[in-house]
């Protein structure tokens, strides 16, 4: 179903607006001056009735399950996989293009999995009105990997993540604050949101482990890389770790390419790549950090060096990245997709 959209402003839904990503949606929409004619803010029944200010107006949060999507153009969903599976098709059937931040539809063949800096053309290939936002760790890795892959041909990548607690939501953020205070007072950490203490600790990502020993986050990175790069021959191995930082994920990335890698060429490619900023000051030992990546949309890239341990060192590269998983890893990426939809409709 298609419709004419007033490009001076679209009718927009934000679902899951009271969550960490939902609140970030509003910030990004404001910062990017996204054109909105009519706005609906949706959440679970326990949040219904809350008042949220946006662009000088106050909006009352409505219940997602009871909302009539008729007449709306785009919906930004960050309400969890189960809710997305139940509600996104209903919105899509009503003619609303759903940009979903959960994992519910990412691997479905008729749903594009989109990073605008990598595969923006995929937005136009959707067979139904659902577009998936990739996993935050996948986005943070693939934005800088894409220009290198196009130039040198990625053959294999090994990634170790250092994932901030805000990736698990607002309650996880509060748990880190509370546990840190308790431990500094000499008291027990008392984990509730996470399975283990997070203050002054780190542990394997708190998701289900499969029979081969990979957790769900690691499987997402493997499968999503293959789908986004449209190449299942690329070797991908990920180790995903939760660390006691509030915001922004970091990743150590080790790569092997089909072609020899020139470090100056790598810097040139990354330096002109959209969504990437090089932070690689060896003299002052200044490299990507979560603190400096927070509240930024660029992926910070540094520690750029060869890997002398590789079978073909001239084809191998190691580097380190940091990116705000609430922004580019979620909200900003989704709003960029919405902007692509607007461009598509203006043609």
pLDDT at 168: 86
| DSSP character at residue 344 | H
Residue 2 pLDDT: 36
Task: Compute the distance between CA of residue 298 and CA of residue 164 in angstroms, rounded to an integer.
Answer: 17
> What is the pTM (predicted TM-score) of this model?
0.94
Of 34, 33, 44, give the one whose Cα is nearest residue 78.
44
Could you tell me which residues come within 8 angstroms of residue 213 by beta carbon, excluding any fewer than 6 positions away? none
Residue 136 known to be catalytic: yes
- Give the DSSP H/E element, type plus range, for residue 222: helix 216-229
pLDDT number for residue 6: 46
Distance CA 321, CA 129 (A): 33
Rounded to an integer, what distance in angstroms lies between the CA atom of residue 112 and that of residue 130?
Answer: 8
* pLDDT tens per residue across all 347 residues of the chain: 333 444 578 999 999 999 989 999 999 999 999 999 999 999 999 999 999 999 999 999 999 999 999 999 999 999 999 999 999 999 999 999 999 999 999 999 999 999 999 999 999 989 899 999 999 999 999 999 999 999 999 999 999 999 999 888 888 999 999 999 999 999 999 999 999 999 999 999 988 999 999 999 999 999 999 999 999 999 999 999 999 999 999 999 999 999 999 999 999 999 999 999 999 999 999 999 999 999 999 999 999 999 999 999 999 999 999 999 999 999 999 999 999 999 887 77
d(CA 287, CA 175): 28
Distance between CA atoms of residues 235 and 32, nearest Å: 36
DSSP for residue 66: G
β-strands 36-43, 62-63 pairing = parallel
Contact 213, 230 (CB under 8 A): no
At residue 214, the 3 state secondary structure works out as: coil
Two tokens, residue 319: 């580097």
Give the single-character DSSP code of 113: B
Q: Rounded to an integer, what distance in angstroms lies between the CA atom of residue 76 and that of residue 29?
A: 11
Which candidate in 149, 205, 240, 249 is catalytic?
Answer: 249
DSSP calls for 271-308: HHSTTEEE--BTTTTB---HHHHTT-SSEEEEEEEE-T
- Count of CA atoms in the C-beta half-sphere (13 A) of 179: 22
Q: Which two tokens stand for residue 249?
A: 């994920």
Measure the CA–CA gap between 303 and 148, rounded to whole angstroms.
15
The token pair at 296 is 């930024």
Distances (CA, A) of 140 to 4, 110, 135, 215, 284: 34, 24, 9, 18, 25
Q: Tell me the domains of the chain and their CATH numbers.
A: 10-133+330-346 (3.40.50.720), 138-325 (3.30.360.10)
Element (H, E) at 27: helix 20-31
Of the residues 136, 149, 205, 240, only one is catalytic, namely: 136
CB 178 within 8 A of CB 198: no
Say whether 240 is catalytic: no
């Amino acid at each position: 179903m298609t419709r004419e959209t007033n490009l001076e402003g679209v009718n927009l839904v934000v679902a899951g607006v009271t969550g960490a990503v939902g609140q970030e949606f509003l910030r990004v929409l404001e910062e990017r001056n996204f054109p909105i004619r009519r706005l609906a803010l949706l959440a679970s029944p326990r949040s219904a009735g809350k008042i949220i200010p946006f662009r000088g107006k106050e909006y009352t949060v409505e219940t997602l399950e009871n909302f009539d999507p008729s007449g709306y153009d785009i919906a930004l969903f960050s309400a969890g996989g189960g809710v997305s599976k139940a509600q996104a098709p209903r919105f899509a059937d009503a003619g609303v293009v759903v940009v979903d931040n959960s994992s519910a539809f990412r691997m479905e063949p008729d749903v594009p999995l989109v990073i605008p800096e990598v595969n923006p053309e995929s937005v136009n290939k959707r067979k139904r009105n659902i577009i998936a936002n990739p996993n935050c760790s996948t986005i943070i890795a693939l934005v800088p990997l894409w220009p290198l892959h196009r130039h040198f041909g990625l053959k294999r990548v090994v990634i170790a993540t250092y994932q901030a607690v805000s990736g698990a939501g607002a309650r996880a953020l509060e748990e880190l604050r509370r546990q840190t205070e308790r431990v500094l007072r000499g008291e027990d950490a008392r984990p509730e949101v996470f399975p283990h203490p997070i203050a002054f600790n780190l542990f394997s990502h708190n998701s289900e482990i499969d029979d081969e020993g990979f957790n769900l986050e690691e499987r997402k990175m493997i499968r999503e890389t293959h789908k986004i790069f449209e190449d299942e021959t690329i070797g991908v191995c990920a180790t995903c770790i939760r660390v006691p930082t509030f915001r922004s994920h970091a990743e150590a990335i080790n790569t092997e390419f089909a072609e020899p890698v020139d470090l100056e060429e790598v810097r040139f490619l990354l330096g002109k790549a959209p969504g990437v900023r090089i932070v690689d000051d060896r003299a002052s030992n200044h490299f990507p950090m979560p603190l400096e990546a927070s509240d930024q949309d660029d992926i910070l890239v540094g520690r750029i060096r060869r890997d002398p341990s590789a079978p073909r060192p001239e084809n191998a590269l190691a580097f380190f990245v940091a990116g705000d998983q609430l922004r580019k890893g979620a909200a900003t990426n989704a709003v960029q997709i919405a902007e692509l939809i607007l461009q598509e409709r203006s043609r």
